Amino acid sequence: MAGRVPDEKVFDAVLAVIAQQGYERATTRAIADAAGINEATLFRRFTSKENLLRQAVRGNFKGFALDLGSPGDDVEADLVTIVSYYARLYETRGGVVLTLMREAKFSPEVAAVLAEPEKLLERVDEVILHHQRRGALVVEPPRHTFFALVGPLMMRSLARRVDRRATQAPADPVAVVRRFLDGHRPVGA
Amino acid sequence: MAGRVPDEKVFDAVLAVIAQQGYERATTRAIADAAGINEATLFRRFTSKENLLRQAVRGNFKGFALDLGSPGDDVEADLVTIVSYYARLYETRGGVVLTLMREAKFSPEVAAVLAEPEKLLERVDEVILHHQRRGALVVEPPRHTFFALVGPLMMRSLARRVDRRATQAPADPVAVVRRFLDGHRPVGA
DNA sequence: CTCAAATGCAAGTGGGCACTTGCACAAGTG
DNA sequence: CACTTGTGCAAGTGCCCACTTGCATTTGAG
């Protein structure tokens, strides 16, 4: 029997508190208040804070599947698919993602939560390798290419949280990719 | 009279602990141990943890002065100066910098610490604006240009801490700038 | 050598937080 | 209606951490 406040609502509250307070400052009391639930109930239902956060974060990534079909002849199209995904991810969930990346260094559990996104990255690698072999991209370690491509997006998300002067406008994936391609075509192509 | 362990050594210990444990997890005890100093002495000399961290971080950035003369006719040269600086910064102090950026959102004190690097950024803005006016760069918000330029560097530093597959090799500033310029020259130029 | 100032050491204080517990109440189930 | 199960509430426990304090010891300057 789920309680009166459904788990999903509690998870939403968790993410809201994380985004606002940061991961380590997200207290169970604040989460309980945000969820409109008693703190004791939180522990009765979710056992521990750690377990609660893990469930909340995992659920948060579920809606963010990227369907990477097999890569085709069109570099630009394939990269736009990738960039669009990450742009959306960082714009809506950037705070949580970056918090997790930082936390992953210290916490094995958080690192485990990132294992799933990591699998996605491996498929992105394949797409990049495919186009490198086709001669459409400079040959270099695919993760290197990936970060050159997606790095500015992440930085904008991060900067938005630090620097008020940073651009608030969402990135245009097509423009990002075109610009990237101008600098990453092989010499002879 | 400075104590036997000079302040600088203590600051180094602070930064080491921050980079390894994160800002909030950096306990005064850990710092004291790392510095080979007594915890009580830490407070007698530096008053509070907050003050200690501030001094440490500030001192950390001091050695990293970037001498940005007035910008000239050579976009590539000017950008290479900037990129070299940030490449060096992220490669040697990347852990601390990114930790601070993350934490700045929640902690006014950390944000205050970042105010100084912020001034540097303003001068970088000027350089970028100068070259935009000269027609050597796409016209866009300078911070946008900055993150497109430096973003991949920061990402590599961050990724190195999360992802074992990430490139370990230092970035080549000239190559980074050339690639960037290929994608950021104005249409007619 | 002398003395004041800084340090090491060990114990303690107070506050915040994760987590617990006992009890009264509410709600769904048969 | 009786009964089980989950919840709110309030108090409490134990831990960790920033910060303090009293005292013996060290250290460096004159």
Q: Provide the CA A142 to C1' C15 distance, Å, integer.
A: 50
Distance CA B27, CA B17 (A): 8
Rounded (5°) CA angle A162-A163-A166: 130
In this structure, which amino acid lies at residue B113?
A: V
Identify whether B36 is part of a domain: no
Identify whether B132 is part of a domain: yes
**Beta carbons within 8 Å of A161's beta carbon, 6+ residues apart:** A94, A95, B101, B104, B105
Distance CA B51, CA B49 (A): 5
At B189 the pLDDT is 46
Rounded to 5 degrees, φ, ψ at B47 are 70, -60
At B113 the pLDDT is 64
Q: Which residues of B touch A25 (CB under 8 A)?
A: 24, 106
Instruction: Give chain A's largest Cα–Cα span.
Output: 66
Identify whether B73 is part of a domain: yes
**pLDDT (average), residues A43-56:** 92
Question: Which nucleotide lies nearest residue B44, CA to C1'?
Answer: C6
Identify whether A66 is part of a domain: yes
**pLDDT (average), residues A176-184:** 83
B 109-138 residues inside an 8 A Cβ radius of A = 111, 114, 118, 121
Looking at the 3D structure of chain A, how many domains does it have?
Answer: 1
**pLDDT (average), residues B19-44:** 91
Does the beta carbon of B175 lie under 8 angstroms from any beta carbon of chain A? no
Q: Which helix (H) or strand (E) holds A128?
A: helix A115-133
At B164 the pLDDT is 58
pLDDT top residue among A131 and B20: A131
CA atoms within 13 A on the CB side of B37: 24
Identify whether A16 is part of a domain: no
What range defines the domain where residue A152 resides? 53-183
Please, which pLDDT band fits residue A189 given cuts at 50, 70 and 90? very low
Six token digits for residue A6: 């459904």
Q: Give the CATH number of the domain where residue B106 resides.
A: 1.10.357.10
pLDDT top residue among B140 and B124: B124
At B2 the pLDDT is 46
Q: pLDDT tens digit string along B76-133? A: 999 999 999 888 888 777 667 767 776 666 666 666 666 677 788 888 999 999 999 9
* Residue of A25, A102, A116, A119 to mutate, interface with B, max B Cβ within 10 Å: A102
Please, which pLDDT band fits residue A164 given cuts at 50, 70 and 90? low
Pick from B21, B101, B161: CB nearest A162: B101
Identify whether B24 is part of a domain: no
Q: Provide the CA A2 to C1' D15 distance, Å, integer.
A: 32
Contact between B152 and A147 using a beta-carbon 8 Å cutoff = yes
Whether the CB-CB separation of A77 and A139 falls below 8 Å is answered with no
Whether the CB-CB separation of A142 and A132 falls below 8 Å is answered with yes
pLDDT top residue among A111 and A145: A145
Residue B188 pLDDT greater than 60, yes or no: no
Identify whether A81 is part of a domain: yes
Identify whether A100 is part of a domain: yes
- Helix, strand, coil percentages (3-state) for chain B, rounded to 5, are 70, 0, 30
At B65 the pLDDT is 72
Provide the 10 A C-beta neighbour count for residue B2.
Answer: 8
Please, which pLDDT band fits residue B1 given cuts at 50, 70 and 90? very low
Six token digits for residue A112: 């485990």
